Structure 1
Amino acid sequence: MSHDRDLASTLPWSRSLRASQKRRTSAASKRRWSTRRRTTVAAMATAVIGFGGVAAAQTTTSGSAAKVQSGTTITSVQRKLGISADGVAGPQTRAAVKRFQRKAGIAVDGVIGPQTLAALGLAGGSTATARSTAKSGTAKSSSASGTTNATLRKIARCESGGDPTAISSDGTYRGKYQFDRQTWRANGGSGDPAAASEAEQDRIAAKLLAARGTQPWPVCGR
């Protein structure tokens, strides 16, 4: 077998060039396929993560809404807020809640909590607390009023024997609480204290007691 080649012939070089081009084309094709596969996998992973995040957010929102309803439906809240009552505590409802909270001067957190429900007139479970607080405040007010009345009765008995027309021997101190004219006028009274109605004298005396305590009655106020 002869190993001699015709170096003048272009055939061997042409075959070599075609083989080289084929290898380069194949390699380029493999690279493109590999790149497309990596891109597709990354996109799928992003989509899955995004879907999971949305699902988690929806679950959290739904769970929060369920916890804060306290017997009041989301639909009722939406009606109060003047938005579409679809029963879904989504972004629209949350935004409306925040707007309402801002106007009502309460914490702007978008959560339909007891304070927000109370402000909407849907207190539900918190109504009892509000009523209890109101009763407590009324009781304290009544207690304070009772103490004031008892103090005034004691002062009146000591100063004048409880007589609204009493006048001191020198004419300086007048009425149930023995006002001098200057003190009487300074606290909103007019005319002669001893000539005023007993209710008016009680009112002025209560005002004076609230402002200065028993100081105006150094003896009878002890």
Structure 2
Amino acid sequence: MGEKTAKLLSILKLQPVVPVLIVEDAKSAVPLARALVAGGLKAIEITLRTAGALDAIRAVAEEVEGAEVGAGTILNVSQWDAAVEAGSKFIVSPGTTQELLDAARSSHVPLLPGAATASEVMALREEGYTVLKFFPAEQAGGAAYLKALSSPLAGTIFCPTGGISLKNAHDYLSLPNVVCIGGSWVAPKELVAAGDWAGITKLAAEAAALKG
């Protein structure tokens, strides 16, 4: 196992659920991340889908003790460089391009690349990747699809993300080829807007207690 793969796995194995966050206001990032860490969710993915995402990553990286912050929705090299410069400990992409693979190869930060088909998984395995994001999980076939991949593509481990909630989390976590799942339900927009950090800590603790 490569050093970067080991580093990535050590982050993903911290908890059963990695919060996938769309942070509209960078000011809320620090109390939000602290609330998640307090509930037991230390690995946190902040997606680059908002103007304040990089500021949010930087603030969490600098100010939140115990947090392992990563950047999601990375689509190109300029985003990769900006996310790493902001302090991201890991990078997540919804799919994969040669450009991103090249950036990952020359970086010290591990990549969790997205794949949705057997062919994409095989191509990434040829590049040396054995830990992948399965995205969009529910829309691409769900837990049943991922289970079907476990035998022919043995040795590949997934973090499924997309359409996963408390309701179907166990379906994924019970699979032998799933290391953790990504979910946004632990930080609902209305609780973030209301500054209900105790409510988010409660949801995080509930997620942290999930078992396969």
| TM-score tier after normalising by the smaller chain length | under 0.3
| Higher Cα Rg, which structure | 1
TM-score when scaled to structure 2?
A: 0.17
Q: Which has the higher strand share?
A: 2
Q: Between the two structures, name the one with larger relative contact order (CA 8 Å, sep ≥ 6).
A: 2
Q: Which has the higher helix share?
A: 1
TM-score when scaled to structure 1?
A: 0.17
